[in-house]
Amino acid sequence: MESKKFLLIFVVIITIFSFALRIFRLNEPGKYYYDEVYHVVTARAYSQNNPAAYDPFAPAPEKGTAFDWLHPPLAKLIQAGSIKVLGDKPLGWRLPSAIFGTGIIVATFFLAYVLFGPTAAVFASSVIAFENLTFVMSRITMNDVFVTFFVILSFLFSYLYVTRNKLRDLLLASIILGLAVSSKWTGAYAIGACFIFILSSKLRAKQYDLRLILLIVIPPLIYLASYGQFWLQGHSIRQFIDLNKQIWWYQNRHDLEHSYGTTPLYCVPKGLSGAKTWCPWILDARGVYFSYEQYGEKAGYIYALGNPLIFWSGVLAVSYCLGLLIEQRKKEYALLLFGYFIFWLPWIFSPRIMFLSHYLPAIPFLSISLGVVMAAVWKTHFKYISIVVLLIFAAVFFYFYPISSGWPIKPASIDSFMWLKTWR
């Protein structure tokens, strides 16, 4: 798996395969579903240069919708550009997500490659290519795949900076971190993680690197620049501050309820003050129904659920990598585990309900952990066990494909997909 020709062919094939899967029937359903009722109308408003999209108190543009002012604008600006080019239709809304969702797989390959070598990279990217939650989030007009893509790249260039000490790598990491936080505030976790990783690595090497100030200065500047349309529309600094106060207020609401609401540890359908039942994200215990569409006697379901075997075995793989970190104390394992835990452990203390989709940025690191284990097995006499495991992951992916993609099935058959009671 180490020849450059093989790796190039592999990356090309997995990219084409993953992108083709994501754009197949991308226009179904032909209407808004789940959070598209917020993101699509906002991206459309951006494409029309409508200032109402930045107004927390603007009336709903359509019945059952609302402007998404509670996230930074970058992802929606990209979607707006797609609408301008391809038209105001499902393909125009969702194609950027399909592109960036495919990019997650490629970026996972390169991060795994620089951390642990080509064999781990091949397995890690193959694993995430057959991960159902990542697939679902790559086919909906939301911002999660954008921040996840930028997060992986920021970790990649942060590691390269530590190992090569080139200013270009630090600049790229800083810029990409700015793009991450400009897509979703979750990117702020990546800024903290990359800063701590680089600083600790430099201090261990007894180096004092003043260039790290770039990680603090550049991302906020890019965040401000992402509101370029907002500024060009004539909004003031006071309005910008008030808008971000509104974002902060909403993200700290205690009164939200949703039948599929969770925290990283519990199901909370009646909100955080209501009854709680154990259903942790890491065990894939509670997905989210995104869509139900009738097709004659059949129905299309889109259920945001992870590939259960990848989630469950991934917990063991992360534990294995944690053991390697304790034993070997290598910065590669530290960065991997930092990336995995930083994108879900802090949410335990979130003051509002969340959903399984918030776990998405951790999944590339989970996949790399599995890639590390599979690469280790590959080096033994039992090497083909890794291939068998990968084929099982793929089989489970395609088993759940109908309810990951909205493929029409007989309504009675939905029970065959409900392996756990908490999935219903």
Task: Answer yes or no: are the C-beta atoms of 367 and 314 closer than 8 Å.
Answer: yes
Instruction: Report the pLDDT value the prediction gives residue 31, as an integer from 0 to 100.
Output: 95
First to last CA, the chain: 41
Question: Considering only 201-210, 222-231, 401-410, which range has the smallest mean pLDDT?
Answer: 201-210
Phi, psi of 298 (to 5 degrees): -110, 170
Task: Answer yes or no: are the C-beta atoms of 329 and 71 closer than 8 Å.
Answer: no
Asked if residue 356 has pLDDT above 90, the reply is yes
Percent of the chain at pLDDT > 70 equals: 100
Which residue carries 């270009």 as its tokens? 168
DSSP string, 359-382: GGGGHHHHHHHHHHHHHHHHTSTT
What amino acid occupies position 24?
Answer: F
Q: Who wins on pLDDT, 81 or 275?
A: 81
Q: Which helix (H) or strand (E) holds 295?
A: strand 288-295
Question: Could you tell me the pLDDT band of residue 414, with boundaries at 50, 70 and 90?
Answer: very high
How many domains in the chain? 1
What is d(CA 228, CA 244) in angstroms, rounded to the nearest whole number?
15
Structure tokens at 280: 């942790």
Asked if residue 2 has pLDDT above 80, the reply is no
Instruction: Report the pLDDT value the prediction gives residue 253, as an integer from 0 to 100.
Output: 85
pTM, two decimals, is 0.96
Task: Answer yes or no: are the C-beta atoms of 309 and 392 closer than 8 Å.
Answer: yes
Query: What's the chain's average pLDDT?
Result: 96
What is d(CA 310, CA 363) in angstroms, rounded to the nearest whole number?
9
- Residues forming beta bridges with residue 278, ordered by sequence position: 266
Question: Could you tell me the pLDDT band of residue 1, with boundaries at 50, 70 and 90?
Answer: low
Which residue carries 């690191």 as its tokens? 365
What is d(CA 111, CA 365) in angstroms, rounded to the nearest whole number?
9
Closest by CA position to 365, among listed 339, 332, 326: 339
The percent of the chain in helix, strand and coil, each rounded to the nearest 5, is 65, 5, 30
Give the range of the structural domain holding residue 66, as residue numbers without chain letter.
4-423
CA distances from 18 to 95, 101, 137, 287 (A): 13, 9, 13, 22
Structure tokens at 382: 């039992």
Which residue carries 């008030």 as its tokens? 242
Asked if residue 131 has pLDDT above 90, the reply is yes
Question: Could you tell me the pLDDT band of residue 206, with boundaries at 50, 70 and 90?
Answer: confident
Task: Answer yes or no: are the C-beta atoms of 68 and 42 closer than 8 Å.
Answer: yes
Instruction: Report the pLDDT value the prediction gives residue 254, as an integer from 0 to 100.
Output: 84
